[in-house]
């Protein structure tokens, strides 16, 4: 991987990665509900789009049942890079004795 | 009489249509559509309870409004990638410019009201004129590939690049006209500026024409 600076991992992105790694693929709304107030409906989708642009998560639209109308939901999962960045952050946090989320 | 269920739009449709007017398709697909889809899912899970549905709707409308403010500041579409959901994490200057203009208009309303109305109307008319001209005579702007890869910086509502051609002339003349309407006492400044710029343009044109013809003669 060719990068100019180490990947950054702000708090909200860290929470999202933790949830996706521990609970598996999730929808935006599920991330909000599982985060115990750490994530809000009004920001989580922008954060997820940013993480997707950074390559930390990937998403796909669920397929609507035949005959169904409306919008398909989008489900998110961590990428190998996202998992790697999370592991690096956990190692760094342990090194500096920071609080490491379970 | 209650409206027919077939005539009622799905929750979030109005909001999504409004967002489509403001944001590009990539942001709609990656941010707003998933949010509205989740809103509908949560409403579906809530069942028939009117109180629950009311609370969910308000929570979501508040969230979607926040998202409208947050989205343009945190992501924008990538002009380089052709991917349909390409977004990059940098602030969107265009949206900030619109916010700045709106703030300036509101701030100067009490003592500059007529100018605000005339300049906003003239600005929109000017944008339409430029767009119409541009569609008939597209502007060709030669620029280094590095600049071409960056998002186009535009300061006009018609969202077209301005060069030294028809749209450029409409843009410059229209802008001067708008300011003169608001500040008529400064008309002499714009006349002097126009004369001065014509003089500079003429001297540059003459000099470059001489250089080019000299180069052409030396090649022959």
Predicted-complex ipTM score: 0.84
Residue B34, pLDDT score: 93
β-bridge partners, A78:
A57
Burial, B52: exposed, middle or buried (Cβ in 10 Å; 0-12, 13-18, 19+)?
Answer: middle
The reply to whether B60 touches chain A by the CB within 8 Å rule is yes
Taking an 8 Å cut-off on Cβ atoms, the answer to whether B35 and A69 are in contact is no
Cα separation of A69 and B15, whole Å? 17
List the single residue in A29, A40, A50 with the smallest CB-CB distance to B38: A29
> What residues of chain B, 28 to 57, have a C-beta less than 8 Å from chain A?
30-38, 40-42
Q: What is the pTM of this model?
A: 0.55
- Does residue B31 contact residue B75 with C-beta atoms inside 8 Å? yes
Mutation target to probe the B interface, by most B beta carbons within 10 A, among A10, A25, A71, A73 is A71
How many percent of chain B have pLDDT more than 70?
A: 63
What domains can be seen in chain A, in order of their start residue?
Answer: 11-95 (1.10.10.10)
Residues 70-99 of A with CB under 8 A from B: 70-74
CB contact (8 A) between residue B31 and residue A53: no
CA dist., res. A88 & res. A90, Å (int)? 5
What is the Cα–Cα distance from A43 to B150, expressed in whole angstroms? 27
More confident residue, B111 or B27: B27
* Residue B80 pLDDT greater than 50, yes or no: no
The CA distance from A29 to the nearest CA of chain B, in Å, is 6
- Can you tell me the mean pLDDT for A31-35? 93
* pLDDT greater than 70 at residue B97: no
Contact A49 B87 (CB under 8 A): yes
Least confident piece of the model among A29-33, A93-97, B39-43, B186-190: A93-97
Residue B6 has pLDDT above 50, yes or no: no
* B residues 83-122 closer than 8 Å to A (CB): 85-89
Q: Which of A29-33, B48-52, B93-97, B181-185 has the lowest mean pLDDT?
A: B93-97
Residue A9 pLDDT: 84
Cβ–Cβ gap A53/B86 under 8 Å: yes
Question: What pLDDT does residue B96 have?
Answer: 63
Kindly report, residue by residue over A45-91, the tens digit of the pLDDT: 999 998 998 899 999 988 877 766 778 899 999 999 999 999 998 88
Residue-wise pLDDT for B54-63, tens only, equals 899 898 988 8
Neighbours of B37 (CB within 10 A): 23
């Amino acid at each position: 991987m060719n990068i100019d600076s180490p990947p950054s991992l702000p708090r909200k992105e860290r929470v999202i990665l933790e949830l996706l790694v521990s609970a598996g693929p999730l929808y935006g709304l599920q991330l909000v509900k599982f985060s115990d107030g750490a994530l809000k409906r009004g920001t989580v989708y922008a954060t997820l789009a940013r993480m997707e642009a950074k390559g930390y998560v990937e998403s796909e639209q669920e397929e609507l049942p035949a005959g169904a109308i409306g919008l398909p939901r989008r489900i998110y999962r961590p990428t190998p890079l996202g998992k790697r960045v999370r592991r690096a952050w956990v190692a760094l946090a342990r090194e500096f004795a920071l609080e490491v989320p379970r | 009489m209650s409206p027919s269920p077939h005539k009622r739009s799905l929750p979030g449709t109005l909001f999504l249509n409004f967002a489509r007017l403001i944001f590009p398709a990539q942001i709609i697909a990656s941010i707003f559509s998933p949010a509205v889809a989740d809103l509908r899912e949560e409403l579906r899970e809530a069942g028939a309870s009117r109180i629950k549905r009311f609370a969910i709707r308000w929570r979501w409308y508040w969230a979607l409004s926040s998202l409208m403010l947050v989205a343009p500041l945190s992501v924008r579409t990538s002009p380089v990638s052709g991917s349909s959901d390409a977004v990059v994490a940098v602030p969107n200057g265009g949206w900030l410019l619109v916010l700045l203009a709106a703030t300036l208009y509101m701030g100067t309303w009490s003592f500059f009201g007529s100018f605000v109305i005339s300049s906003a109307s003239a600005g929109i008319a000017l944008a339409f004129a430029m767009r119409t001209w541009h569609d008939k005579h597209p502007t060709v702007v030669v620029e280094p590939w590095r600049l071409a890869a960056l998002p186009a910086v535009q300061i006009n509502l018609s969202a077209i690049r301005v060069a030294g051609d028809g749209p450029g002339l409409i843009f410059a003349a229209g802008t001067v006209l708008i300011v003169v309407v608001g500040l008529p006492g400064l008309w002499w400044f714009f006349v002097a500026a126009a004369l001065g710029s014509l003089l500079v343009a003429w001297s540059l044109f003459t000099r470059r024409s001489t250089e080019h013809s000299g180069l052409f003669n030396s090649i022959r």
